[in-house]
Amino acid sequence: MNDIRTETSPHAIPPTILVIVGITGDLSKRKLLPAIEKLVAAGAAPDKLKIVGITRRDVSAKQVLQALPDELPHGFLTQNMSMFQMDLSVSADYKKLDAYLHELEIGLGEGVQRLFYLSVPPQISQPIVKLLGKNGFADKPGTKLLLEKPFGTDLETARELIEQTKQHFAEEQVYRIDHYLAKDMAQNMIVFREGNALLAHTWNNEFIERIDIVASEKIGIEGRAAFYEQTGALRDLVQSHLLQLAALTLMHPSVTRNLRNICQCRIDALRQLHIDESVPFTRAQYSSYADEVKNPGSLTETFADITLKSTDPAWQGVPIRIVTGKALDKKATEIKITYKKINEYESNELLIRFQPNEGIELRLWTKVPGYEWKVENHSLELDFQETFNTSTEAYEQVLLDALKSDQSLFTTSEEVIESWRILAPVQHAWSMSPTISTYKPGSNYDHIAG
């Protein structure tokens, strides 16, 4: 399986200018800038790389770097990051930005690629996309656009956003980020399934009883009232991260060894997914949420529980449950594969863990040593951190793949459309309901669903 993901030497990556819109924001400080330093330290970044931070205020690169964690070295950024002050709503400022980037390109040599990372909400990013396009940025070879979720709020708005973007940028220029796809564990899904006969031969409805994809959080909205009141659990996690995990679980990667086609494998899996309307889908809100957002009539769900079914012959009859919630009893993101019973013993379970610790756990029945016939359930575990003593942050992989023009771990427009299509019946049903149930913080998700 060595050809499933080809490596690109950093020397083969063209000279690059990475433009970050939202350089002073939380994502930039916590994830993007640290990821750049780590890529450089690991020798994975291109030989020639410049960072340009876009800011409306008069902020220096030194001020931005001072806001980074003290333990993070930023020697590369100190030498290679500059700031450009502009009004992102003024077309003339884009001409000035283009001239500034051109000056940087002269020092970098031939074949420079420009990456525009829009670390801002969609209502801000879409006007920027339009002005970048109108000012000719998309026409320059090697220009790429990196966009953060959410990609719409429903099927209709997602289509509108995608069409607006297509007016200015080709699909191959657009990198829609779902950082869950860049997690080591998500990438390992292919290797676990295809590289191990134990799983490869039993990964279908002949052996698997059900699939549960769970994202349980102990924290509440943590001061993100304005964002969450407009979003909710279904839009925040189910539409993006959790449906992508479902696609990784259900797709058929053995069809191709060409990683560029992995996106198509995910699309094919999503196309065959539908809401199982015979199973009630649940929304709920933790009891103190309405007070936190200062909206006693809020119908925003902090908990969502839905069940899907697939028309893929390999998965027909297997319920795929997706559940997520805030203010629950534990922090855990995992995929639980429950195998069919073959005798009087309970089912075997395979756990694929994403948080808090990436790893895999297989629960097996075994006889307890001794004279008596006593059987217990025990686990075989692989903890990534303990085994490899290293890990890669998802945003390091996101940036590296964008630098290498590898879109396999990014979400295509078709995936966005399919995910909203899947959830449309749920959104419609909830929009017609004037009530929402509540749950006590610290609850277990199974108790809420029940």
Q: What is the CB-side half-sphere exposure of residue 181 using CA atoms within 13 A?
A: 25
Q: Where are the beta strands (DSSP E) in 127-207?
A: 143-148, 174-177
- In angstroms, rounded to a whole number, what is the distance separating the alpha carbons of residues 396 and 230? 29
DSSP state of 115: E
DSSP per position, 368-408:
PSSSS--EEEEEEEEEHHHHHS----HHHHHHHHHHTT--T
Residue from 179, 241, 378, 447 carrying the catalytic annotation = 241
Q: Tabulate helix, strand, coil % of the chain (nearest 5).
A: 40, 25, 35
pLDDT-flagged residues of the chain (< 70): 1-11, 254-260, 449-450
Torsion over CA: 437, 443, 449, 450 (sign): negative
**Residue 4 has what pLDDT?**
46
The SS3 call for residue 1 is coil
Q: Which amino acid is at 225?
A: A
**411 in Cβ contact with 176 (< 8 Å):** yes
Structure tokens at 47: 């030989």
Q: Which amino acid is at 222?
A: E
Q: Which amino acid is at 258?
A: N
| Residue 241 designated active-site | yes
**Residue 243 has what pLDDT?**
98
Domains and CATH numbers, the chain: 2-148 (3.40.50.720), 181-391+413-449 (3.30.360.10)
The SS3 call for residue 397 is helix
Write the pLDDT tens digit of every residue in 373-416: 998 889 999 998 888 887 789 999 999 999 999 999 999 999 99
Q: Exposed (0-12), middle (13-18) or buried (19+): which is 427, by Cβ within 10 Å?
A: middle
